[in-house]
């Protein structure tokens, strides 16, 4: 399994954060794209399907939970990792219920995130033959 092949889509309204994260993950041999809101994320799915989505919860417009719900409805094999500044148990549980793969709190350690993405990719591979 080649890491360079893992396609990651970062969805976060904080442009600076999304871009920096993307840059760092790229340095860790991941293919990373960034979008800055939920609607954009869903339309991007239509063009190119990522393996793993790193999703913020609180965003202007469409909220992270709604995006997760939509993604799981249309592209259930895409693994979604929630990366939020407002991590509560309730939200973590909700995300799990909706089929989210992981739940990380900002600020997160880059290695932890990278590992989680790899785990998610592995999970995706086991599910899709």
Partner 1 sequence: MKNILKDLRHPRDLFSISATDPYKSLKIRVILLDAILSLIPLFIVVTTSYFWFQSILKEDYRSQIKWQIENTKQSLDFFIEERVSGLRFIASAFTYEQLSDRKTLANVFLKFKREVSGLVDIGIIDANGIQQAYVGPYKLEGKDYSNQDWFDEVTVKNVYVSDVFMGYRKLPHFAIAVKRELPEQGTFWILRATIDVETLSKFASAMNLGNKDDAFLINKEGVIQTPSRFHGNVLEKLSFPLPGSQQGATVQEITDSSDACTICGYAELKHSPWVLVAMIQSAPYLKIPRIFKNELFFITIISIIVGIIVVTRIANTLVNRIQEAEKEREDAIAQSEHASKLASVGRLASGVAHEINNPLAIINEKAGLMKDILEASEDQSKSREKFIGLINSIFDSVSRCRTITHRLLGFSRRMDTAHELFDMNDAIREVLGFLEKEILFRNIRLDLVLAEDLPRVMSDRGQVQQVLLNIFNNALDALLEEKEGTITIKTTVNDQKIKVSVSDNGHGIPKDKLKKIFEPFYTTKEKGKGTGLGLFISYGIIKRLGGNILVESEATKGTKFTIEIPTTSTSE
Sites of contact with partner 1 (CB under 8 A): 14, 16-17, 20-21, 23-24, 27, 58, 84-90, 105-108, 110
The CA distance from 62 to 76, in Å, is 19
Minimal distance in Å, beta carbon 110 to partner 1? 5
Q: Which is nearer to partner 1, 16 or 46 (CB)?
A: 16
Minimal distance in Å, beta carbon 12 to partner 1? 9
Minimal distance in Å, beta carbon 102 to partner 1? 16
Residue 59, φ and ψ in degrees, nearest 5: -140, 155
Residue 111 CB contacts under 8 Å (≥ 6 apart), including other chains: none
Minimal distance in Å, beta carbon 11 to partner 1? 14
Q: Which is nearer to partner 1, 15 or 73 (CB)?
A: 15
Q: Which is nearer to partner 1, 45 or 91 (CB)?
A: 91
Q: Which is nearer to partner 1, 87 or 99 (CB)?
A: 87
Residue 77, φ and ψ in degrees, nearest 5: -80, -15
| Residue 18 structure tokens | 């999304």
Residue 53 CB contacts under 8 Å (≥ 6 apart), including other chains: 8, 9, 10, 11, 41, 71, 78, 79, 80, 81
């Amino acid at each position: 399994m080649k890491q360079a092949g893992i396609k990651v889509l970062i969805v976060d309204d904080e442009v600076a954060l999304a871009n920096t994260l993307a840059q760092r993950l790229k340095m860790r041999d991941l293919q990373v794209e960034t979008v800055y809101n939920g609607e954009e994320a869903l339309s991007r799915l239509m063009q190119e399907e990522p393996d793993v989505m790193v999703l913020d919860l609180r965003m202007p417009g469409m909220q992270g939970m709604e995006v997760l719900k939509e993604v799981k409805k249309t592209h259930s094999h895409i693994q979604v990792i929630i990366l939020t500044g407002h991590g509560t148990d309730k939200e973590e549980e909700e995300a799990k219920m909706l089929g989210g793969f992981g739940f990380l709190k900002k600020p997160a350690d880059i290695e932890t995130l990278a590992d989680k993405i790899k785990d998610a990719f592995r999970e995706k591979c086991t599910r899709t033959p």
